[in-house]
């Protein structure tokens, strides 16, 4: 008996829900919408129904005239559906009336038609209608629009140009990049050279303050041109001779050479260690050459703290330090050394001079 009672309640709830859905979808919305179409009520009638029956559903005692929960809940949902339909229909009707008004104004009052379009914010239609009604205003507006379009195009062009320059900087900063092939078509608006193709690369030149000075070079037509002053003072032809037309007449237009200089310097910095080696690498290979001269290489103990290493030119390092190692009698002695080593490739260093006292 106890099992049948919950089953009966569930069945009753299912029937109640079905009735609610049927009334909410197929009964109340059509009735309210029909009243609206007949002109008896607008969206307010659905709103009133929603409020009344919502109160009846939540607080039945406050609405004794509506004591059937199924009906009140269905009316609330149905009124909501109806309100949505009514509002959509009203919006559609308003658009149709607006279009009809504009059609009449276009025929009988062109000036009012133009003004109405402007008020409505229908910019393209307003501009098209303006041509016949107010030619002078149309000419001024057209000039304004053409100027805006020109500026926008110039901004897009400048942004594209700057993006290409930024990509050049990014590529040049890659530590594995030893040269960049350049084409005029890739730098539209910036390229003002008399050649259509060139190659940007860096060489590490004479020493200054313990480091090789960067030579930024541009290869074109089988010749290398110096972009920076260091390259030019080291015998390379000034890259300004590659500038086309008035750009090559002082004061020079360096809108292409300036980005190339910046990119070339970044390339020199990024490739310095790979081209000329670094301090730790030079010391390591110097120690390898020293070990080969020792009686007991396995006993060698090098001091990194007391080691001095400096570049004499790109790739050539002078290393000065000492090593503690056993002699042929098994006695540990300290031997100062001075070595000159040169980096020839990534994994090949050669010994120039080694002095062990």
The reply to whether 147 falls in a domain is: no
Question: Based on the domain organization, do 194 and 265 belong to the same domain?
Answer: yes
Number of domains in the chain: 3
Average pLDDT (278-303) is 96
Question: Based on the domain organization, do 27 and 89 belong to the same domain?
Answer: yes
Average pLDDT (214-227) is 96
Question: Based on the domain organization, do 39 and 87 belong to the same domain?
Answer: yes
pTM higher than the cut 0.85: no
The DSSP line for 253-295 is --TTHHHHHHHHHHHHHHHHHHHH--HHHHHHHHHHHHHTTSS
Q: Residue 92 — pLDDT band, cuts 50, 70, 90?
A: confident
Question: Based on the domain organization, do 231 and 302 belong to the same domain?
Answer: no
Query: Residue 326 belongs to what domain range?
Result: 279-356
The structure tokens 């730790």 sit at 280
The reply to whether 110 falls in a domain is: no
The reply to whether 159 falls in a domain is: no
The reply to whether 47 falls in a domain is: yes
Residues near 64 by beta carbon (within 8 Å), at least 6 away in sequence: none
Question: Based on the domain organization, do 228 and 288 belong to the same domain?
Answer: no
Average pLDDT (295-311) is 94
Q: How far apart are CA 312 and CA 207, in angstroms?
A: 7
Helix (H/G/I), strand (E/B), else coil: 196:
coil
Average pLDDT (167-177) is 84
The structure tokens 């929960």 sit at 69
Among candidates 142, 254, 264, which has minimal Cα distance to 200? Answer: 264
316-326 vs 332-345, strand pairing mode: antiparallel
Maximum alpha-carbon separation in the chain: 122
Average pLDDT (127-146) is 94
Asked if the model's pLDDT at residue 235 lies above 90, the reply is: yes
Query: What tens digit of pLDDT does each residue of 73-82 get?
Result: 555 555 566 6
Average pLDDT (113-128) is 93
Which of 104, 130, 160 represents a domain boundary (last residue)? 104
Cross-strand bridge partners of residue 326: 332
Whole-number pLDDT of residue 274: 85
Q: How far apart are CA 161 and CA 9, in angstroms?
A: 75
Question: Based on the domain organization, do 256 and 304 belong to the same domain?
Answer: no
Whole-number pLDDT of residue 97: 84
The reply to whether 148 falls in a domain is: no
Asked if the model's pLDDT at residue 243 lies above 50, the reply is: yes
Question: Based on the domain organization, do 248 and 319 belong to the same domain?
Answer: no
């Amino acid at each position: 008996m106890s099992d049948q009672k919950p089953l009966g309640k569930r069945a009753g709830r299912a029937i109640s829900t079905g009735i609610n859905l049927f009334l909410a979808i197929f009964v109340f919305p059509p009735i309210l919408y029909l009243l609206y179409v007949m002109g008896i009520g607008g969206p307010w009638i659905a709103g009133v129904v929603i409020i009344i029956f919502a109160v009846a559903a939540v607080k039945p005692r406050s609405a004794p005239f509506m004591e059937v929960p199924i009906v009140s809940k269905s009316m609330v949902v149905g009124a909501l559906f109806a309100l949505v339909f009514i509002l959509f229909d009203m919006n559609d009707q308003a658009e149709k009336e607006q279009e009809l008004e504009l059609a009449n104004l276009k025929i009988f009052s062109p000036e009012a038609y133009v003004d109405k379009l402007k008020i409505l914010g229908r910019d393209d239609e307003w501009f098209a209608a303006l041509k016949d009604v107010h030619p002078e205003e149309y000419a001024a507006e057209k000039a304004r629009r053409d100027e805006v379009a020109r500026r926008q195009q110039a901004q897009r062009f400048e942004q594209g140009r700057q993006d290409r320059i930024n990509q050049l900087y990014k590529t040049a900063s890659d530590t594995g990049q030893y040269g960049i092939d350049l084409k005029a078509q890739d730098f539209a608006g910036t390229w003002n050279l008399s050649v259509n193709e060139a190659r940007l690369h860096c060489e590490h030149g004479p020493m200054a303050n313990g480091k090789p000075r960067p030579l930024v070079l541009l290869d074109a037509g089988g010749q290398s041109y110096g972009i920076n002053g260091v390259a030019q003072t080291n015998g390379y032809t000034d890259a300004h001779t590659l500038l086309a037309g008035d750009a090559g007449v002082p004061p020079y237009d360096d809108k292409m050479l300036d980005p190339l200089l910046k990119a070339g310097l970044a390339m020199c910095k990024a490739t310095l260690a790979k081209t000329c080696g670094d301090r730790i690498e030079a010391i390591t290979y110097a120690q390898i050459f020293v070990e080969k001269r020792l009686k007991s290489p396995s006993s060698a103990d090098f001091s990194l703290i007391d080691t001095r290493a400096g570049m004499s030119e790109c790739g050539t390092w002078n290393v000065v330090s000492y090593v503690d190692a056993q002699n042929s009698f098994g006695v540990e002695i300290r031997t100062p050394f001075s070595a000159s080593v040169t980096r020839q490739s990534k994994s090949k260093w050669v010994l120039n001079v080694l002095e062990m006292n």
